[in-house]
Amino acid sequence: MKQCPALLVAAPASGQGKTTITAALARFHRNQGREVRVFKAGPDFLDPMILEQASGHPVYQLDLWMGGQSHCQQLLYQAAATADLILIEGVMGLFDGEPSSADLSVAFGIPVLAVIDATAMAQTFGAVAHGLATFRPACKVIGVLANQVASAIHEEMLKESMPKYLPWLGSLPRHINGKLPSRHLGLVQANQINYLDQYLEQLAENLALTGLHKLPPAITFKAPDNLPTITPKLKGMRIAVATDAAFSFVYQANLDLLQAMGAQLKFFSPLDDTSLPEADSLYLPGGYPELHMEKLAANLSVHKAIHAHYAAGKPIVAECGGMLYLLSTLTDHHGKTVDFLNLFSGKATMQRNLVNLGLHSARFPQGELRGHTFHHSLLETAVQPSALTQPTRKGLRPEALFHLGRLTASYMHWYMPSNPTVTAALFSP
């Protein structure tokens, strides 16, 4: 067993400032010389980039459905072995989703900090705080932070509305706490926000004036009893992984698993490199290919190399944006169309509104693989899917799964630790 202070940062809804507060907390405690490990509840790629820059360490996802409770327990246990503090950023509102942030809190006994955006709110603030703290008694809310506070008078009204049993842990003023920039899939990537470090330092200084300068309670984390054994099924395999500004949506846990199974990862950039690394398999994760269409389209030498890889019968796993890159054409929000690889006959068009979102699973000959989908593009293709994914909620739309030779392509972002056996089969010759 390992003991480590831990805190889950949650809110009544999305957009309340969870990422900002979690990142500021990570930076504050890091500046105090503490080792901070940060996790993100639920499937997400963009928030973890911000949190990674704030903490100085890779950020892993905790999802009780995608990874399972034992997997989440193992990640927390490993973090507790070296960390002085564990922070978890919740997903959506505290009780939203199945599983929810509250489910995660209850499963591991992690206390909750409720962050509430106080914009256009006064005494109702206390009612919201009371609701969060009492809706599910097993989920322990240990305090409240007011975000986006307009003035000292506004803060007093908020504090006066608080129930007596619930600690007020401070506030962050609106004038130093703007919103992080976002685009159609969420926050802008951390390495594209020039002022991010300065912003985090300023927020950390303000957090030093709140009740959050103290460490939260220590939690006991146990090693799981029933983790699957990871065998070296990919020993000696070289996997080329696309990694750049266009292809950056990849779970760190996926990369860890591939390496744990013996694979050697070789990173390359479809934007800037002129060839593929020597590789037995190719992994094209998601990202923002629509923001880099012209440069991706112009790099014909990489197109040729990927065609040669496919023609040689070597495996390719393409997720969401990685799949778009393999299509015949992509059309952006402004109606501009570029030619892509045409390895997979079809065209995609970016939409103004979200096309699909949710947790899904798919059946493979080796078992079930889980993941999530989140995209703003619409695919048109005559290629018939080999299968459809199964959403976790009725009424949600399944995603098509395509197999063309050794190419496996879908809008799905796979969480590969959900089934190492399927993962090994996808990348094996």
Residue 355 DSSP SS3: coil
Residues recognised as catalytic: 320
**Neighbouring C-beta atoms of residue 289, cutoff 10 Å:** 30
**CB-based burial label for 238 (10 Å; 0-12, 13-18, 19+):** middle
The CA distances from residue 332 to 271, 289, 349, 423, in Å, are 17, 10, 6, 32
Q: How far apart are CA 388 and CA 397, in angstroms?
A: 10
Check if the beta carbon of residue 144 is closer than 8 Å to that of residue 43.
no
- Among residues 56, 41, 47, which one has the least CA distance to residue 102? 41
Check if the beta carbon of residue 384 is closer than 8 Å to that of residue 367.
no
Place of tokens 């926050």: 187
What is the per-residue burial (b if ≥16 Cβ within 10 Å, else e) of 321-344?
bbbbbbbbbbbbeeeeebebbebb
